Structure 1
Amino acid sequence: MRKQVLIAGGGIGGMASALGAVRAGWDVRLYERALTFTEVGAGVQLGPNVVRCLQAWGLQQGLQAVAAFPDRLQVRSALSGQTLGTLPLGTQTIQSYGAAYATIHRADLHQLLLDAVRTCSEVQLNQGIAIDSYTQSDSVVLVRTSQGKDIEGDALIGADGVRSRIRTQLLADGPPRSTGHLAYRALARQAALPKRLRTQQVTAWLGPRLHVVQYPVRRGEWQNLVVIVQGPAPDDLEHWNHAANAADLAQALAGTCTALQDIIRAVPATGQGWRLWPLADRPPVRHADQMAQGLIALLGDAAHPMRPYLAQGAGMAIEDAVQLQNALSMHDLEVSLRLRRYALNRWQRNARVQARSQRNGRIFHATGLVRWGRDLSMRLLGERLLDVPWLYSGGPMQHHF
């Protein structure tokens, strides 16, 4: 008899979990609090470690149709505009790591996974319904939905984001912490930008207490921009006046080079606005019990929310789902042991990515002598510093080069 997994959350992690579980021979019931399956407008970078996972699921063609594939990454000084270092992407990434480096609109990645899930008759998608709580015995997990129904399953996956209800019940470790960093995000149609401001590469601008990242999405037709500054979050973001964001940004970027300010100022002229997100994370995972206990497992941001300075948040959720697929496929093991295997195979890598993301944030936003040393190192060792072999060649689709 086929086993059934219950999944909380219909974002990228939830959809990836559903796909992995079906491929492991399980039936899936997925519950999403929102009435529609949507992702907010923002870009996502997918390193070759993540693209290999999507290829293994047969999604290369779909990815090719919606993503952009930048030919290089460059790092520039936000103050002087000078190029500090570059890393070739494109064919070099394919040769080194067996897959391309892709940049994609978050909604397009979500839709790619959702379309794949919808072709699976074994998946039941439930919208407008959340999993509020659970109880578990040795062999069964029982969840209570927001509609007051009790549903039984053989396992429960909490893929319900940074403020996960499943995590709250499983670990009781309080809310995520505020990082003290704010992310301003915008998407602009490239054709609406002056030619000199269009781009088909990834550029990171590093400045004191701030940095900016820009890259193409949607086959290169749109440009994603994110500005991260250090500062307190507004008290009431729900009622925050996002119309004021452009003025706040201009103030935050005073003192940066003209080339950078031109890009930021050009966004409102394309008819697009800046949206503001306060960033939250948790300390790096400390042991496997933080990712699975008994018949309950956590995945993606519910397990290991991280700062965006290694561009691997969505990527680690997808890697988790591939490892979950591998574990759920071990049909001779009890379910709790399969989930334990999943957690043992994932927690250290996720912890390493979380820790490196934090460290990168300190380096990106450095001031004074540290900033001077960073810029010098980048000029001398740019490609070696920017390439991340342990990350790009690792993961559940491990390649040995």
Structure 2
Amino acid sequence: MFHAAHGYERASGPEVKEPGTTPENRVATAVAPATSDLKSAARAAGKATGRDAYFDNAKYLAIVLVAVAHAWEPVMEGSRATRALYMVIYTFHMPAFIIISGYFSRSYRGKPHQLRRLLTGIALPYVVFEVAYSLFARYADDPSKPISLLDPFYLTWFLAALFVWRLTTPLWQTVRWPMSIALAICVLASLTPDIGADFNLARVLQFLPFFVLGLCLKPEHFQMLRRREVRLLAVPVIAGALLFAYWAAPRVNLSWFYRSRSVQERGWPWWSGLVVVLVLLACALVLSAAFLALVPARRAWFTMLGAGTICGYLLHGFAVRAGDYSGLFESQEWLGGPAGLVVLTLATAGMVTLMCTPPVRRALRFVTEPDMKWAFRQDPAERGPRR
């Protein structure tokens, strides 16, 4: 089993659902035509669905980093370099995902069709996969493992958090100083030990500023990140972060990156712990900007996979957990060496890539993108005029 300090039961990173009816966030329904040229297929898919290639690229690259970092967790203790890479990835990959999810939530107003999408696209997958992961853990490792929809298990926490954040979107669009209020809530949550584990509320509140930031961003902000000078600056920023992480790797408690506990629960005084929280927030913002600056804006062979990252996120955990429960990572010590880490990285990246492909997405559509018109009343405002 993995230690709690690794945050394995509190993993990160899913698909960002795009609600609404704008071209950027229209859910794709067409499948790229069969062709040997992957770039042509991606280009055709983008034209058919109206999706923004930049954001699909960002989601695909981020979900690969999420899966790879999860695979590193059980074997990285013997490698200082891998631990440093893990720290850098965990600094920005969740904030970047949350910023994008906030950006695509700008049109949310709590209208009937948006509430239906919230229930079918976020709440339903949360319930299904929370039960699935709990049963998997019960029969593969811990027969006493309870099934509780109030206490997210493993990687389902993000769906619960996204449900809460998006439901509160109209409030953040109403108040005058949304970022200041969100930062204040984040600080108070990091200094409150008695929040409780329901819906992983401590983590929901401590990541809240990134979602609110996404709500406040406009297209021109992302265009600014794509400028040549910003992209060039992102390279030394990430390189400097890697060098610092290599120095800090043996000295840093990884629980800071998961934001699932308060400062006091880590044994720190509130005032010094608060400094760490604020510094980590600043680092997360800078590295998220650097990552988003380096994401290619053009269509590539993997662009079409950005529409299926919810599948890659929800499915890769079963493979990683299976390796944990079976003792694979403990029995194969060579995986902790340089060659083993390279093999593990390539295998995990390939696995999550396959999980994001259109066939897998179609197979899971009954859970991740169900219609379920039968479950909802028709809104009178959406009915067409009668003859």
Output the TM-score relative to the length of structure 1.
Answer: 0.27
Higher RCO (Cα < 8 Å, 6 or more apart): 2
Higher strand share: 1
Higher helix share: 2
